[in-house]
Amino acid sequence: MSLDFTVDDLAVLEQYQIERLLSLFADTLPFCCLNHCKNQLTIHCSEPWIVDELLAQIDQLRCAVKVVMGVKKISIRFAQEEIYKTLTTPHPKKRLVKILH
């Protein structure tokens, strides 16, 4: 039994991933055009209020995109301009060192 994915398998998987993401952000993402390319999800917003809503939910969006789509970057665009870009995984925080006197 082969575990290799065919091109058709990958296309179906990506469609299911997009549908799942749309269902999680049903108030905003269905009004957007999503482009998944080179480990980045680009979200093209049709209205400025959508950008505002997505930015207000950016932590949830970042987590959902990482889990559902498995990409490393998100780009939010409006009117052919990139409004916001972020990694789906935040940079590791520097370790805090407690100095004892």
Domains and CATH numbers, the chain: 7-87 (3.30.70)
pLDDT 10s digits, 56-69: 999 999 999 999 99
The mean pLDDT value for 68-88 works out to: 96
Q: Residue 101 — pLDDT band, cuts 50, 70, 90? A: very low
Q: Which residues of 28-40 are buried (b: 16+ CB within 10 A; e: fewer)?
A: bbeebebebeeeb
pLDDT 10s digits, 8-45: 988 898 899 999 999 999 999 999 999 999 899 999 99
> How far apart are alpha carbons 59 and 4 in whole angstroms?
33
Element (H, E) at 60: helix 58-69
